[in-house]
Structure 1
Amino acid sequence: MNEYEAIMAVQRMQEYIDDRISKKITLKELAIAAGYSPWHAARLFKEATGKAPFEYIRALRLSKAALMLRDSDERVIDVAIDFVFDSHEGFTRAFSKEFGMPPRRYSQCTPPIKLFMPRKVFDTYRELHKGEDMMSEKSKTKAIFVQVIERPARKVLLKRGKKAAEYFAYCEEAGCDVWPVLTSVKEAMYEPIGMWLPKYLIKEGTSQYVQGVEVPEDYSNNIPEGYEVIDLPPCKLMIFQGEAYNDDDFMDEIGEVWEHIERFDPTVYGYQWAPEAAPRFQLAPMGYRGYIEARPVKAIN
């Protein structure tokens, strides 16, 4: 078996788990999805994800349960049953071990926590082999949708890196567990973002690229260790959104949108670039909606 075949076997197991996360899952079922023996499938899964299959399933169930507790009025016991825990006590023990507090307390105060949000192993594999001609032909973005939006005065909960100017360097400096924490923030005004900070918001010895989530001006919940909350002024942003694409081609699509932005003349819309007015930001690449990036602008008087 070559590396690609092993990765695709694990990818199939991940997809099977996603589809059946609220149902009982057996190693035999995962093995059938992978196309290998139970022993071999479990070994491949642990090697690729860093977790044994049932350790992975439990962590994923607990994170989904946490989001349900955060966003609904469901009773703890009902959430436990929804995610295949046999008892209230077993769920409480597992939840407390995973997040450092019992589920009832979490549902009452919903502080930021580190959710388990596993990446698909094929995405990681593709990044490591992005220079190789092993994927489908590069798709061509046919159109870029452009609009101007306004953001109110707000705060942003963020974690800084050291020198990073882009996503991959940031992950090496700050770790790849920032996004799960940001996703857990109940008070979030919008979804988490990767940001390129203007100079005045960059602290000495810290990175230009950071990850954060915008929250209201009166945000007062817990601030996780290593994070901080800063103010952002009202601003105008020009949003660029590419066409839907195959998720496997996300690096190509980001590059195409960037090329379009570099050629774009905002004066056509009556604006000019304003890089020091606010952070430039990107949303998580998701093929179904196209790549989305925002650049700060100001009206031409």
Structure 2
Amino acid sequence: MSEAETIMAVQRMQEYIDVNILRKITLKELAVVAGYSPWHAAKLFKEVTGKAPFDYIRALRLTKAALILRDSNEKIIDVAMDFVFDSHEGFTRAFSKEFGMPPRKYSQCTPPIKLFMPQKVFDTYRAFHKGGKKMSDNFNTKSVFVQVIQRPSRKVLLRRGKKATGYFEYCEEVGCDVWSVLTSVKEAIYEPIGMWLPKHLIKEGTSQYVQGVEVPIDYTNDIPNGYELIELPPCKLMIFQGESYNDDDFMDAIYEVWNHIEKFDPTVYGYQWAPETAPRFQLAPMGYRGYIEARPIKSIN
């Protein structure tokens, strides 16, 4: 069996789990989807994802349940039943084991927790094999939408790396599960971001590239171990958004926007780059909306 065949078999099982997460799923069903025996399908799934199928399913159900408890007034027993737990007690035990606190306490104070956000293995495989790809000098330039926004005073909950100057280095140093914690922050005012910090915000022995989520200036909820809360002053940002793209072409889409920024002259619009006033940041690349990146600017006096 080739690596690509293995990846595709596990991807099919992941997709089946996503669609059927609210009902009982059997190993036999996953085996049929994968096209292998139950034993072999389970073996492949654990080898690729790091979790046995039913551990994966349980973690995914608990994460989806946690988000409902965070964002609604649903009764715990109703959430438990929706996600195929047999009893309130069983759900409470599983939730407490996964997140370190019972669901009732979580629903009351909603501190940041480590959600289970599985990466689709085919996306990981594709990123690994395309991550080092360089864009050709002969690509066709596409449209890039540009706008200026004002960010208010705010705080950012972040996790630093060691030496990373970009996403892939950061994942090697810190891991790829930071997003799962950031996504759980109920008070977030914007979605999680990858940031390149200005020099004055980089602590000695830590990375330029970090991941974080912006929260209100009066944020007082728990700070997870390994994370830090810092304050950011008001700033102006120039937002660059590329065209939508096929997921297979995400690296090309990023390079497309970077190339546009490199040639862009903000003085035409009365601004200049101001890299020390605020972090430069990127949103998670999503094909339907195009790659989005923000650069700090200030008005020309």
- Asked if TM exceeds 0.5, the reply is yes
Question: Is the contact made by 1:141 and 1:253 (CA closer than 8 Å) also made in structure 2?
Answer: no
1:17 counterpart = 2:17: yes
Alignment check: 8 A CA contact 2:131 2:251 kept = no
- Matched to 1:296, the amino acid is P
1:272 corresponds to? 272
Residue 129 of structure 1 aligns to a residue whose secondary structure is: helix
Counterpart of 1:61 in structure 2 is 61
Q: TM-score, normalised by structure 2?
A: 0.95
- In structure 2, the residue corresponding to 1:282 is in which secondary structure? strand
Tell me, in whole angstroms, the C-alpha distance in 1 between the residues paired with 2:230 and 2:33. Answer: 46
1:132 Cα offset (Å): 9.2
**Whole-angstrom CA distance in 1 between matches of 2:7 and 2:100:** 33
Aligned residue pair count: 297
Give the % identical residues: 82
- Counterpart CA distance in 2 for 1:251 and 1:185 is 28
Preserved contact between residue 242 and residue 257 of structure 1 (Cα < 8 Å): yes
- The TM-score, its normalising length taken from structure 1, stands at 0.95
Amino acid at match of 1:274: A
Aligned AA (2:214):
E
1:269 is displaced (CA, Å) by 2.2
- TM alignment of 1:134-145, pairs within 5 A: 142-145=142-145
Q: Which residue number corresponds to residue 286 of structure 1?
A: 286
Gap change, CA 1:284 and 1:131, over 3 Å in 2: closer
What is the SS of the residue equivalent to 1:41?
Answer: helix
Equivalent residues of 2:153, 2:217 under 8 A apart: yes
Aligned pair in 2 of structure 1 residues 131, 281: CA closer, same or farther (>3 Å)?
closer
Aligned partner of 2:119 in structure 1 is 119
Paired letter, 1:215: V
Judging changes above 3 Å, is the alpha-carbon distance between structure 1 residues 33 and 232 closer, same or farther for their aligned structure 2 residues? same
Q: How far is the alpha carbon of 1:139 from its aligned partner? A: 8.8
Quick one: structure 1 residues 237 and 132, their matched pair in 2 at CA, closer, same or farther if it must change by over 3 Å? closer
Identify the residue that residue 204 of structure 2 maps to in structure 1.
204
What displacement does 1:69 show?
0.4
Alignment gaps of 5+ in structure 1: none
Partner of 2:188: 188
**1:141 Cα offset (Å):** 6.0
Deviations 1:164-220 (A, max 9, x none): 100111111112221101100111010000000001111111110000000011110
Report the counterpart of residue 152 of structure 1 in structure 2: 152
Indicate the residue corresponding to 1:107 in structure 2: 107
Q: C-alpha separation between the residues in 1 aligned to 2:131 and 2:19?
A: 31
- Structure 2 counterpart SS, 1:290: coil
